[in-house]
Structures are given as C-alpha cells and as structure tokens.
Structure 1
Amino acid sequence: MPALQWLNPDFVKELFENQTCSSIEEARVFICESYPEQKEFTARTLQRFMKEHDIKMRKPLSNDELESEVRQATEEVGGSLGRKTMQGYLRSKGVQAKQSRISAAQAVVSPPYMENRRRDTQNQLNPQPYRALHFGYNLHMDQNEKCVEYGIVFVIAVDGKSSFIVRGSVMPRKNNITIYKQVYAAATREFGLWDRVVADGGREFYLCEFVQQYLKGFRIKEDGHLSGRLSYVQTTSCKNNRVERLWQEVNKAVGLPIKHAFLELEHTSTTWSRQDQGHLFATSFVGCCVARVLLQRCIDGWNNHSIEDKGIPSQYIASKKNYHLPAGALPSAEAAVALYQGEGGQLTEEWQYGVDPLNDQLEKQREREAKFMSALNDSIGGIEGLANHTVNHNYQPLQDAELLFIEIGVSLS
C-alpha cells in the first residue's frame, strides 16, 4: 500500500528544493505541523514516500559556491538587497539557499554594503490597512518620475493580494498608449482580467481604465453573477500603498544609481549640455537601456523573495482568480485607441525625449545603434555589463557610454 496517500508530492519536493528543510526528520516535523488533522508518521514512512515519488534531497551549495553566487548577484543588482530579496533574486536564477547562509555570504562578499543596510533601518511601510481576497482582485498601477529630467520613466503594475509585480516598463515619457501596450494589456493577456484596476488620478492611465471598463461584462464570478465592484478606481498616491511601497526598492536598485551617474556627468563634463536637445535624447536612450536591465533584475528578486506573513509573491499565481477573456476580447493598442477616441477621448501619440539628430533617417539610426552596441560588447560586456557597473556606483562607464552614443550620432549626421 502506498505511503501517505493524502500527502501532495509537490509539497514535499518544494520543502527540499527551497531548502525549507535540510533533513528527512526536519521535513517530517514540518509536515506534521502543517497537517495537524492527519495522523503523525515516522521518518522512515516519509523516506518510503519520497522513494515512491522519486523525491531526492537537494545537496546544499558549499560556502564557497554560495559566496560565488552572491558575489555575481551583487555585481548585477548592487548592494541594496537584504537577505530576503537577495534570496528571491537567487531563486529567480535557480539558486536555493537559506536566508541565514545568504546573510553570512553577503558579510564575506560585500561587508560595506551590509553595513549600509544595517544603518538604513527606518521602517517606511505604509501602515494603512489593506485587504485583497485573492490574486486577481486588485491590479495597482503607478508611474515613477525619479529620472524624468533625463527622459526615463518607470511604470509598474502589482497584484494587490500577492504583491507580485506583473509588469514593469521603462519609457522616455509617460504615455497612455505605451502604458496600455506594455503594462496593462501585456499583464491581462498573460494572467487574465483583474476585478479592479487601482491608480492615481493621472491622465496617463486613462486608456487602461477605459478598456478595464469596456471589459467589465467579462467579470463573471464563480457563482455566475457579474461582479458588483467598480471596474477601476482613482485614488491618491498615498492610498495606492501596494505599489507605492515598491518604489523604495526600484529607486534603490534602478533609479538612483542612474540619476547619480547623469547628475555627475552634468556637473563635471565640459562637452555635455542640458541645453542640447540631442544630448537629452542620448541620455534618455542610453539610460532607458540600462534601466530596463536593472528593473527586470529588481522585479525578479522581489517576485521570488519571502514576505513575512505573506510568503513568496510568485507562488500566488497558481491560485489566481483572474477572469478569462475569450480570444480577441482584449483590444490591441490600435483598437483601444480607436475605441477611446470614438468616445470623444483625446490621446497623445508616443514621442521621444529630446531631439534625435538623426530623425527621419532610419538607416542611420540603425547604424548608430549597431555601432554603439558593438563597442559596448567589446569593451564592457554590453548593456548588462554597463548595468553592473552603474548599480555598484561606478558611474564612469555609463557616462562614457552616453558620450560615445552622442559621438557616433554626430559622425553620421
């Protein structure tokens, strides 16, 4: 007779894969405490269960191996990540380790960063009560203009129940069409329709809110009734706390390092000028390239880290209750714009930051970007290498890349 027929093999497998338990006896105790309604069993019974389902204990990384992984991760995301978010980022790369071991590795690999995190202990969480019933209940959207003067704007969308960042986007200017296409529509296409969208009163979310209202008839609950909630709400930024909390993480890991680099360039360079619209375009182009790499790393770390009393955000996806949309129900960006304008709404087309000296010269633009990327790949390991230096406060490579982009453009104009 099979052992422990009531026990889910995937649950046991995750205990070892996530290194929640490091021995069979430890796993036995954990399972018995998790299922108090079931009769207790012996370690030998659990061992037989694991053999029947081909579940193996994962050999933990050695200290040297873990330190190597943490060192590489620190190069990629900088020193702002504590043990929890670092654990999440390592998980996103397939590396499993306990928080205590990660903390010890961080102390060896990057002691100055660890000391800085210890000093920055002020709790900035919004204490306002919040309640979401499930993944798919509320979708919080917001934009951040920490680097707006350099043509870099961040937009993210977050599930209210799990705090899972479902989409993040970087753009030169906040724009309804870009936000709809890269954030709202992309998230809805992957996960389904949320019951409600929550955003501040900014005009940049009008198209997303319009389509959310347009699709309200698809919000049919499990009992067959239509959802009675408003399909979207506009609130003040301080009350949109599920997404506001995350800007602290994005600013530390993405926005502030880039801003510091460009501020330093602006104050020390004799060739870069804010009055030159071509220079502003170059700052936006290069800055957005680096920001996209760093933002995705930040999202990967956040979505896979453990939150106290909540768990790991990404694990909520399995129980999501987003509404299913039939094929073709979600309008394309072009169709959404046509519907919105048909109702009398006005939208601004996407446009660049600054002025590209190679405007309307598509072939030369492609040549400039190819030469720029080739030079970066040869000298610093591409945009990823540039991002590594920037997030670790070595700003010279990003400044040099900015000036190189300008130089190549001038040579082709």
Structure 2
Amino acid sequence: RGHWTADRGRVACDHSRRRTRSTPTAAGSTMRPPYRRLSLLATALLVATALPSSTAARWPDAGDRASAVVTLFAAGVTTAAIAAAEGCTVRRVQQIVAEAGMQPPALPLHPHFEAVVQYEMLRHGPNYGFNMLLGALLSHWPSWRWPRERVVAEMRRVDPVAYEARRQWATRRIQRGVYFAPHFFYSLHIDLACKIQEYHVYCAAAQDGCTRAIIGLTALSDKMPITVYEQFFEPIARVHGLPDQVVTDKGNEWRLLAFACFLAARLAQRLGGRLPHRFTSSQHNIVERFNFEINMRVLAPVRCLINAMERRRLLSKEEPRQVYAFSLVVQPLVQYGLNLLHRSWNAHRISARKGCPGTGGVPNKRVCTHPHPGAQAQLPAGVDMAALYEAANQEPLRRVPEYTAAAEPLLAHPQLRAQRAAAVAAIVGPDIGAAWMEIIACNYARFIHAYLTFLG
C-alpha cells in the first residue's frame, strides 16, 4: 500500500522504516493519512449496535442452566461434577453460585493442625517444599482443610534453616521442556534413578506424558531386564493397560520391556502407526527431570546413612557381602519413601509447561479430565514373556545377578534365608514408616542392628 503526500502524489510505502504519525517530505511539508483505523473495541461496538435485537444470542446459562447449577450445588454436588454435567467450565459454575449468594461448604480445620503438619514434615523429610508437603497433607488427610498460609508459617517455625535451604536449591532445578500429549497414556516415560547404584539401589519411575502423573515408583536391587519387566513394568500394564507408546533411554535393561510392547501391538494388529516403544536419549525423556525429586527426597537420606556407616567401617562398596546385605535391608525403606513421594506428587499442583498453556494442574485431576479414548492394547494373559524373548532372540536372559554367587553364602539354603529374613523383619518391626522416620532423623541404630543381623 502507499500513502498520500501534501501534493496529492502517491508514493510507495517503505516497510524498512517504522511508520510515524507524521513524516516530513522532501519539500518540507508533512504527510498525514486521510483517516485513522478504528480500534477493535470501537469496531465491535459498531457491529453490535448494527445487529437487530432478534438476532441477539441468548446466554446459555441465563435460565435453565443457572437454575440447574444452583439446584445441583444445593444438593451437595461439587463444582467440577456440575461443570462436567452441564458442559461448561468450573469457573462459570462458580460465578453462577456466587451470583446466587451461595458458598461452598468449607472443610473443617484439623483440631491438631500443628501436630499433623509437624508429623508429615518428620515423615517426609526436610527436602519436601511447601507444594509437595501440601500435596501430602491433601492426600493423607483429605477430610480436612489445610490453608496455605498456615502451612507455610508452620514450616518456617519448625525448621527455618531447611526452609531457606530449599529456596536456594529450588531455583536451580532443571527447567521444564516443551512437550505435548493429548490424553492419558498417549506416552509413558520410564527411567531409572541410579545415584547410588554401587550399593545396588535403583529407583524405577514411570511418568505419563500428558497429565505428568507418576504411574509407578519401585525400588529395585538390580536392573536386569527380567527384574525391570516383572517387578516394575508388568504390574503397571496389568492395572492401566499398555500405553500408546513407551519412551525409554537406550539402556540394555529395557530390551524385554520393548519386546513385550511390540509383541502386544502385533497381536492387536496395531503396527504401522506410532511405534509402541521408542528409544531416545536421556535429554529427551521427560521423566529424567523427575529423577531430581527422587534424589532429593528419597535417596539423599539414604546417602547420609551410607556415609555414616562408611565412617564407622561397617560398609564398603568393595565388599560384595556388605553391599548385598545393605541393598536387601534398605529396599523396603526406600520403597516406603517412594510411596510417600508418589502420593504427594500426584496430589500437588504442577505449573504449566513453558510454551504449553493448559498443561498445569493436579495430576490426579488431570487423569480424570484427560482420559484415554479407549481400545488400549493389553499384555497377553498367561504368557511367559521372558521365555518368548529367549525363543525369539536365541539369547538367554540372566535371572540371577552376577554378584549373587560371591555375596550370598546361603544361596543354596532357602530355609536359612527365610529364617534370616524373619529375624531382620522382627528388628525393623511392622511399622516401616517409623523406621523410615528414624533414617530421616539420622537415627541409624535400628537399621544397623538389622544390617548386622543379616550379615550374621
């Protein structure tokens, strides 16, 4: 387009220069456009005024919907359930309820508010920040109200040093990458946290790509393919079905898992679209970022335990028997810590991914609002997947770790192993939570007693 000069001459528009309200010409006069563009607001008002009243759309919740919302809310139905039933947003339901002068029933405060917050702080450890601790309170105590300000004030009062320390390392967390998945189990990202693998402690994690919910967290004593499949992946697939695609890094421990995914897809005649399993680099696996949560909230107390035992000359990673005993005794405690992390993560609110609006929220709720469209593939029932893998690849799978022969003197005596396990369980006690809280509090007497009993 061009613009007009004072002498009515039309000149070409120079897009390389920024337009100004008035630009001097060569003759010294000033160029002025003959009209100004109307703003979007003024245009909208003109269009609305020009429309006849008969074409004005009626608001969808001016009558029937508003009365239905008020009736359901008065009957005790939640705003989320009302929004799903009426086909509108939760925010709109809240607006209708507020206009009607109604208020949602508030949950009561716990009569021992401070004591419960302190108990959860001791049970979860100092590396749980406010959001994660609030998620734990909502998960374990759902019938009570937990105001954010009071929880923060209690955390500051009980342990101000840990509160300030979390503010420092929380700013250095790995930034969330851009990733999109339209529904639950569109993709499942799996990885192992191996920060203390020299003591045969592994943490397997599975995270949904859409809702970012943690689907599985399991403590393992080795990372053989058959262990990862039978103790970690198969229980998830039996409960939730197979995801559309499983994403792992390029480790050898995932080969039986990948074989099972491709076999199930072939039986369901779904080969040809997205791969049922995809190997990728660790940088492109979103669950890799969740390993930070495992390291800080579960493995950090275990690392302190290892350091204390090494200082006392009770544990050395060069002694196979000691490492084997430590791994088996600490595994149920690590699993308890992972269970706490699992529930807290899925119940706390997660911020949206950068560049992906609408991806934030509580994972447990997002699983309900973004369901799988259906017709998921399933693992074949009654099939020995390890035997099929060995027959197809002509390669035997190791079922016993290499170090077991040198580390387990009772390998050929199952009865003696059962007696030893019973003695260790009697020392640890039926309450694994109490033993875990002692590890958090750096009280290692009970654990060391159980460890020395295992060594005999």
> Do they fold alike, i.e. is TM over 0.5?
yes
Relative to 1, partners in 2 of residues 1:39 and 1:255: Cα closer, same or farther, differing over 3 Å?
Answer: closer
Which protein shows a greater Rg?
A: 2
RMSD in angstroms over aligned alpha carbons? 3.2
Q: Which of residues 294, 298, 306 is equivalent to 2:337?
A: 294
The equivalent of 2:297 in structure 1 is 253
1-structure distance, mates of 2:412, 2:443 = 35
Matched, 1:93 2:140: yes
Deviation at 1:32, TM superposition (A): 8.6
Residues 143 and 153 of structure 1 are in contact (CA less than 8 Å); yes or no, is this contact kept in structure 2?
yes
Greater share of residues in helix: 1
Instruction: Please give the residue correspondences for 1:13-412 in structure 2 after superposition, counting only pairs within 5 Å.
Output: 34-35=91-92, 40=96, 42=98, 44=100, 46=102, 56-61=105-110, 65-95=112-142, 96-217=145-266, 228-240=273-285, 242-269=286-313, 271-309=314-352, 310-318=360-368, 319-321=370-372, 323-324=374-375, 329-331=378-380, 335-344=384-393, 346=395, 347-351=397-401, 354=404, 355-377=407-429, 382-406=431-455, 410=456
> 1:322, CA displacement in angstroms?
6.5
The structural deviation recorded for 1:403 is: 2.3
Q: CA deviation at 1:227?
A: 7.5
Worse-matched range after superposition: 385-394 or 168-177:
385-394
Deviations 1:119-159 (A, max 9, x none): 22323224432111111111001012111111111111110
Offset of residue 405 of structure 1: 2.7
CA shift, 1:235, in A, is 0.7
Tell whether the 8 Å contact from 1:79 to 1:113 is kept in structure 2 after alignment: yes
**1:73 shift after superposition:** 0.9
Higher relative contact order, chain-length normalized (CA < 8 Å, sep 6+): 1
CA gap of 1:183–1:273, structure 2 versus 1, over 3 A, is closer
Deviations 1:326-368 (A, max 9, x none): 8xx5146961112212211532214385512222222221211
Q: Is the 8 A contact 1:138 1:159 kept in 2?
A: yes
User: What runs of 5+ residues in structure 1 fail to find an aligned partner?
Assistant: 17-30, 51-55
Deviation digits for residues 36-77 of structure 1 (CA, Å, limit 9, x no counterpart): 8x9845565646xx7xxxxx4322335xx2221111111211
1:403 aligned partner, one-letter code:
L
The one-letter amino acid of 1:134's match is: H
- Contact 1:218 1:325 survives alignment (8 Å): no
Superposition deviation, residue 283 in structure 1: 0.7
Cα distance in 2 between the residues matched to 1:153 and 1:33: 41
Amino acid at match of 2:306: F
**CA separation of 1:199 and 1:323: change in aligned 2, threshold 3 A:** farther
The one-letter amino acid paired with 1:232 is H
Q: Residues 154-184 of structure 1: CA distance to partner in whole angstroms, max 9, x if unpaired?
A: 1111101111111111111102112212322
Identify if the C-alpha distance between structure 1 residues 33 and 285 changes in structure 2 by more than 3 Å, giving closer, same or farther. Answer: closer
Matching residue's letter, 2:328: F
Q: Secondary structure at the match of 2:107?
A: coil
- Residue pair 1:80, 1:252 contacting (<8 A) in 2 also: yes
Is the Cα contact below 8 Å between 1:180 and 1:333 reproduced in 2?
no
Q: Percent same amino acid among aligned pairs?
A: 24
Flag the 1:255–1:71 CA change in 2: closer, same or farther, 3 A. same
1:26 matched residue in structure 2: none
Cα contact 1:218–1:323 (8 A) shared by 2: no
Contact 2:136 2:344 in 1 (8 A): yes
Partner deviation per Cα, 1:306-343 (whole Å, 9 max, x = no partner): 112311111122232065458xx514696111221221
Deviations for 1:195-215, whole angstroms, at most 9, x for unmatched residues?
111000011111111111112
Aligned residues: 373
State the Cα distance separating 1:376 from its structure 2 match: 2.6
C-alpha separation between the residues in 2 aligned to 1:257 and 1:128?
28
Amino acid of the structure 2 residue aligned with 1:291: V
Is the Cα–Cα contact under 8 Å of residues 386 and 397 in structure 1 kept in the other structure? yes
Residues 13 and 79 of structure 1: CA distance in aligned 2, closer, same or farther (over 3 Å): farther
Q: Which runs of 5+ in 2 are unaligned?
A: 1-63, 81-87, 353-359
Instruction: Note the alpha carbon deviations across 1:104-131, whole angstroms, 9 max, x for none.
Output: 2212232222122122232322443211
SS in 2 for 1:146: coil
Does structure 1 conserve the Cα–Cα contact (< 8 Å) formed by 2:241 and 2:376?
Answer: yes
Distance 1:41 1:298, change over 3 A: closer
Aligned counterparts of 2:382 and 2:413: Cα–Cα separation in 1 = 26
